[in-house]
Amino acid sequence: MTKQGPHRRVLYRRERERRTDYYYRRSLLRSGKPRFIVRISLKNVRAQIATPASEGDEIISSAFSKELSNWDWKGSNSNTPAAYLVGLLCGFRGRESGVEECILDIDRFVASPQAKIFAVLKGGLDAGLDIPHSEDVLPTEKRIQGEHISRYAQKLKSEQEEKYKYQFSKYFEKDLPPEELPDHFKKVKKAIKTQYGE
């Protein structure tokens, strides 16, 4: 009987690069539902609704935080309010394409309750998508509106004005005092909902 060496499976390239967890992906595909894909970087937020196809994923709808400027968004493109608006936008576009139900796909991201990923999820839910989730993980309404950013800005302004000006310089460049972020968020949210007939 011939001896055989140890068997070793060569990982797929994306697996070697730690870009895709194929076991996780397989479990999502077995659900048979479109995936509500959320990806967050340091500067931007992206959401997509995709279905699997033989030649790769077919993107049904998508939204990117840089698009929010079309509705006069002046805040950061990667904070919690922006994440929610991206989810809302992607959700409305998905509904227009006939999608009713999805399953959340966050890939390798390890999320904690009220994380930005779940702000995107909340946006998709508010757009009318049915996405299985636990209520415990969703951010509060105040956090989604940016109340925590507004409070921090007020505190910083009264205690360290130079740091306040430096940290929120991008807001001032766009003529948006950070204390007014919640009101600005409500206006942009209303504009998006109005455009999509809500």
User: Which of 25 and 112 is assigned the larger pLDDT?
Assistant: 112
| Closest to 105 in 3D by CA, of 139, 77, 133, 80 | 133
Distance CA 122, CA 145 (A): 12
Length of the chain: 198
Q: Where residue 2 falls among pLDDT bands split at 50, 70, 90?
A: low
Largest CA distance in the chain: 81
pLDDT in tens, 171-191: 999 999 999 999 999 999 999
The share of the chain scoring above pLDDT 70, in percent, equals 88
The confidence score (pLDDT) of residue 4 equals: 67
pLDDT at residue number 52:
81
| 109-123 average pLDDT score | 91
pLDDT, one tens digit per residue, over 63-88 is: 999 999 999 999 999 999 999 999 99
* pLDDT score recorded for residue 132: 93
Q: Specify the pLDDT at position 119.
A: 97
Question: Which pLDDT value is given to residue 106?
Answer: 87
Nearest to 39 by CA among 92, 88, 108: 108
**Which numeric CATH code is attached to 16-195?**
3.30.420.100
- The first and second tokens of residue 22, run together, are 């194929």
Distance (Å, whole) CA 146 – CA 168:
14
Sheet holding 35-40, edge to edge: 58-64, 45-51, 35-40, 103-105
In our burial notation (b when 16+ CB lie closer than 10 A, e otherwise), range 31-57 reads eebbbbbbbbeeebbbbbbbeeeeeee
Residue 154: burial class (beta carbons within 10 Å; 0-12, 13-18, 19+): middle
* Residue 63: DSSP 8-state: E
Sequence spans of domains, the chain = 16-195
CB contact set of 139 (below 8 Å; sequence gap of 6+):
80, 84, 114, 115, 118, 119, 122
Read off the pLDDT of residues 13-66 as tens digits, 9 standing for 90 and up.
766 766 666 666 676 677 778 999 999 999 999 999 999 877 777 999 999 999
**Distance separating alpha carbons of residues 146 and 29, to the nearest angstrom:** 34
Residue of 198, 156, 162, 153 lying closest to 180 (CA atoms): 153
Please state the pTM of the whole predicted model. 0.87
